[in-house]
Structure 1
Amino acid sequence: MHKTKIYLIALLSLSLFRLEAIAQGAPPLETLQLTLQQALEYALENNVDAKNARLELLIAETTVKEELSKGLPQIDGSFNFNYNPAVPILFVPNEGPFGDPTIDADVVPLRLGVSYQSGLGVTASQMIFDGSFFVGLRASKTLRELTEYDRIKTENDVLLTVKKAYFGALVNKERIKLAESNLTRIDSLLDETKAIYEAGLAEKIDVSRIQVQRNNIYTQVERSRTAYEISKQLLKIQMGLPKEYDVLITETLAELNPEVKLNQLLTMEGMPRVEVNQLEKNLELVGLDLKNNTVQYMPSITFNANYQRSGASNDLSNVYDSRNWFSSSLLGVSMQIPIFDGFLKSARIQRNRIQQDQLKNQRLFLDDNISLEIYQARTNLKNDLNIMEVQRENMALAQEVYDISKIKYNEGVGSNLEVVDADAALIESEINYLGALYDGLISRVDLEKALGILKEGIND
């Protein structure tokens, strides 16, 4: 029931799209002829997920540069200009060297500064030793490698969905051909039966029975056409093809389902799976995080340098007079020595070790899952090949039964009901064969994924 609702909603959406295009006088879509190979190559370049995966790789490369910059000299320049409307005053006792007998008070006000001040300076620092820097640089490169594996995994997912969408569209295209062929056959039978009825050699119910069958087949043709349009829209979305284009599939199911290749898949050895590489890189990253937390027990050493020119005056016009400007500089080395952090680093190290154990467990589990996935995919493909052969034989038998029933009916020794039943059985056998052919293709794709050879034959 749920699938039926989804189908009806998709059908309604497609119908509204057509009506809107007609109402707006939209130009006809440009048709793009596609083979499976072309569809896959286009998807790798234009699918949204594939494009974002490549952009993510560029982000990872900037992360490497960001980490590398931490080990290069850090230089900053500064400029300041200050105006003191009221210069700060310091009070000192009115005695001793600061005493002023002309002031009738026990304190003397001294102005500390001038009205205008300005300065220029350059500050530089250079890391001499920091264990975290070297670990961080290695971690950023490992992250870049992990992002590359993520890109490959994303492209594999794109290939998987595009292949299945392509096969779905191809099956619906084949169903249209079969349905139209069946409609032609039943129309011919209907015309013959009407002629026999008009000659008084058949009953009205014979004509009605074939008319009912004809209406059912016509409905099947229309449903197949609608399903084909919907499946093409899905294929376009998976490929990243703009809606301004229509697609024309130029291959057949038989061309894409050679039994020789299917049988080769059953004995093929698997390639290393990208999921394993992803897990290995995650394990390496956790190891680097553990190392980073460990080296933070070591001191860090930094070289610092500063040069500054300062000037001041009570008169704005004399602030930048060279006589009022003076230089200062500083060179130094600083060392930070960690003493006690409340066991923070110790807790982080313990967490890293637990994370390593988790990833090692996942690694073993992943190996078992891949083996099971290959076994299931091979078993499903074997079963589908057997079913395909049975359905092919069944379709040939159904065709033979229909031909015999038609001959008997034409010679007057068979009934109209036998022909209608034989026609219905032939249609069912054709649909079942198409379904078996499609299942074989899907099982083939699943086995290619399990073996890690989805990109075989695809240009990078």
Structure 2
Amino acid sequence: MKNYLLILAFLGLGVGQVHAQEVVQLTLKDALEYAMENNVNTRNARLETLVSKATIKETTATGLPQITGAFNLDYNPSIPVVFLPNEPPFGNPDIPGDVIPARFGISYSSGLAVNVKQMIFNGSFFVGLRAARTLEQLTDFDLKKAENDVVENVKKAYFGVLVSQERVKLGKANLARLDTLLKETKALNEAGFAEKIEVSRVQVQRNNAYTQFEQSIAAYQISQQILKLQMGMPMDYELALTETLTELNPAAEIQELLTTEASGRVEMNQLETNIELAKLDLKNNLVQYMPTIDLNGNIRRSGAGNELNRVYNKQNWFGSSLIGISMSIPIFDGLAKSARIQKNRIQISQLENQRNFLTESFKNEVFTAKTNLKNDFDLLEVQRENLDLATEVFRVAKVKYQEGVGSNLEVVDADAALIQAEINYLGAIYDGLISLVELEKALGLLKADLTN
């Protein structure tokens, strides 16, 4: 954790200081800790957990009293006309026609009101509250899955940087070895002890080694960028990894993993939670056949006047209130709820089928990962032995050539075999580390807990 805090402190420096210190030294644990905080997927997953908590509060709020206020001020430019029959007791023989037009109303009116609504019973509310809490559990599992994915990707990228770094070192050593051989062969040619074709042969080998060296440098730079991307680190920084491939490839850990049984996988937890959400959706559609009951209340004060300055006179204002219970009973919706219920049951069956497949898929992943790791571990021993043999063959071929009992072609061939053996050995180490990560994932051990 101290290393991690140092990294954060470094990344918090000013711009001038950043240019003065461009290299960030990292161990694998440092890289994982940094990625947990800065990778975009883990950051978004943590934000999603906050969204789910807010959703619980939002759902709970619908079951609490809903209080609203209201105010109105109305003006009638033309008061509506109401027609009355022109007959007793309203009749007026002085007015021709069978109706009498009358205006009922005033020019200005205003009112203040407070409305209260309290849910008494609504089956969807209780189901929705439980679904919101289940959704919170799902986002927690999603966060764990995102963290596990980051661990997997950062480990693979970290190992890729180490392999590329070792290839650069080997490429530099190969160039130095061939430069020495080329210099010696040129000297022998100038002294008349070697033919020109021998010089050309070594030169060709040296040019090939140089090409591989340049490719290794490019691969190393690209692998660093990939690691920084997986960590969520700005691309401006230069990385210096402080561990070696050998340190991260302990044989004892490999043997222990090969005998370890699988534990729980977060993917199964995600699927189980999705099944629970689907069942709650089904339950929500079932409870919609039940009535909903609400308590309603209202308090209002109203006033009016034919002139605006008289609307708010105290003597023109009167109060009213209301309290009651309302019930809504579903009768017929065109079988829409029935169709939704049928769809829910089919979706649950699909998820349960997926659960059965996922169980068998996990077993296959464990078997495949263990087989690959054991095979890669065996191949690593073979490549290590092959590298030792290739090194010895090159040494003997060079000694024989220097003593005049061997040919230049033998030396060039031995050097090419040594370079290939080095590449194969590094590839075997990398394959073994990747298989190790795959097995940890298959066993459910690739977790983001970095306390140990």
- Using structure 2 for the length normalisation, give the TM-score: 0.93
Aligned to 2:275: 283
> Given that residues 85 and 91 in structure 2 are in contact (C-alpha distance below 8 angstroms), is that contact kept between their aligned partners in structure 1?
yes
Aligned to 1:23: none
Map 1:360-379 → 2, pairs under 5 A: 360-379=352-371
The residue type equivalent to 1:186 in the other structure is: L
Aligned to 2:243: 251
Map 1:123-134 → 2, pairs under 5 A: 123-134=115-126
> Given that residues 294 and 326 in structure 2 are in contact (C-alpha distance below 8 angstroms), is that contact kept between their aligned partners in structure 1?
yes
The residue type equivalent to 1:225 in the other structure is: I
Map 1:327-346 → 2, pairs under 5 A: 327-346=319-338
**Any idea what SS the aligned residue of 2:57 has?**
helix
Residue 29 of structure 1: how far off its partner (Å): 7.4
Q: 159-168 vs 436-445, which deviates more?
A: 159-168
Aligned to 1:200: 192
Aligned to 1:8: none
Q: Distance in 2 between the 1:135 and 1:27 partners?
A: 57
Residue 445 of structure 1: how far off its partner (Å): 0.6
Aligned to 1:269: 261
Q: Distance in 2 between the 1:231 and 1:107 partners?
A: 94
Residue 104 of structure 1: how far off its partner (Å): 5.4
Q: Distance in 1 between the 2:377 and 2:96 partners?
A: 116
CA deviation map 1:145-191 (0-9, x unaligned): 01111111111112111111111111110000011111111111111
Structure 1 portions without partners, runs of 5+: 1-25
CA deviation map 1:33-79 (0-9, x unaligned): 11111111111111111111111111111111111111000111000
CA distance 1:457–1:403, change in 2 (3 Å): farther
Residue 134 of structure 1: how far off its partner (Å): 0.6
Q: Report whether the alignment pairs 1:428 with 2:423.
A: no
> Given that residues 387 and 436 in structure 1 are in contact (C-alpha distance below 8 angstroms), is that contact kept between their aligned partners in structure 2?
yes
> Given that residues 165 and 220 in structure 2 are in contact (C-alpha distance below 8 angstroms), is that contact kept between their aligned partners in structure 1?
yes
Q: Distance in 2 between the 1:416 and 1:343 partners?
A: 90
> Given that residues 41 and 459 in structure 1 are in contact (C-alpha distance below 8 angstroms), is that contact kept between their aligned partners in structure 2?
no
CA deviation map 1:1-29 (0-9, x unaligned): xxxxxxxxxxxxxxxxxxxxxxxxx9687
The residue type equivalent to 1:294 in the other structure is: L
Q: 149-158 vs 111-120, which deviates more?
A: 149-158
Q: Distance in 2 between the 1:69 and 1:155 partners?
A: 32
> Given that residues 74 and 126 in structure 1 are in contact (C-alpha distance below 8 angstroms), is that contact kept between their aligned partners in structure 2?
yes
Q: Distance in 2 between the 1:120 and 1:72 partners?
A: 23
Structure 2 portions without partners, runs of 5+: 1-17
Aligned to 1:161: 153
> Given that residues 29 and 246 in structure 1 are in contact (C-alpha distance below 8 angstroms), is that contact kept between their aligned partners in structure 2?
no
CA deviation map 1:359-406 (0-9, x unaligned): 221111111000000000000000000100000000000011011111
The residue type equivalent to 1:452 in the other structure is: G
> In the alignment, which of 186, 210, 223 is matched to residue 215 of structure 2?
223
Aligned to 1:67: 59
Q: Distance in 1 between the 2:328 and 2:279 partners?
A: 25
> In the alignment, which of 51, 68, 88 is matched to residue 76 of structure 1?
68
Aligned to 1:188: 180
> Given that residues 401 and 422 in structure 1 are in contact (C-alpha distance below 8 angstroms), is that contact kept between their aligned partners in structure 2?
yes
Q: Report whether the alignment pairs 1:298 with 2:290.
A: yes
The residue type equivalent to 1:374 in the other structure is: V
Q: Distance in 2 between the 1:416 and 1:47 partners?
A: 53
**Any idea what SS the aligned residue of 2:49 has?**
helix
**Any idea what SS the aligned residue of 2:264 has?**
coil
Q: Report whether the alignment pairs 1:30 with 2:32.
A: no
Map 1:9-24 → 2, pairs under 5 A: none
**Any idea what SS the aligned residue of 1:202 has?**
coil
**Any idea what SS the aligned residue of 1:82 has?**
strand
CA deviation map 1:192-240 (0-9, x unaligned): 1122222221111111111111111111111100110011111111111
**Any idea what SS the aligned residue of 1:255 has?**
coil
CA deviation map 1:103-132 (0-9, x unaligned): 555543321110001011011110111111
The residue type equivalent to 2:363 in the other structure is: S
> In the alignment, which of 403, 415, 421 is matched to residue 407 of structure 2?
415
Residue 429 of structure 1: how far off its partner (Å): 0.3
> In the alignment, which of 430, 434, 442 is matched to residue 442 of structure 1?
434
> Given that residues 122 and 306 in structure 1 are in contact (C-alpha distance below 8 angstroms), is that contact kept between their aligned partners in structure 2?
yes
> Given that residues 311 and 325 in structure 1 are in contact (C-alpha distance below 8 angstroms), is that contact kept between their aligned partners in structure 2?
yes
The residue type equivalent to 1:394 in the other structure is: N
**Any idea what SS the aligned residue of 1:340 has?**
coil
> Given that residues 147 and 448 in structure 2 are in contact (C-alpha distance below 8 angstroms), is that contact kept between their aligned partners in structure 1?
no
- Using structure 1 for the length normalisation, give the TM-score: 0.91
Percent identity for Structure 1 against Structure 2: 62
CA deviation map 1:317-361 (0-9, x unaligned): 100001001111110001111222222222222222222222221
CA deviation map 1:268-310 (0-9, x unaligned): 1222000110111111111111211222222111100011111
Aligned to 2:41: 49
Q: 304-313 vs 98-107, which deviates more?
A: 98-107
> In the alignment, which of 306, 312, 321 is matched to residue 304 of structure 2?
312
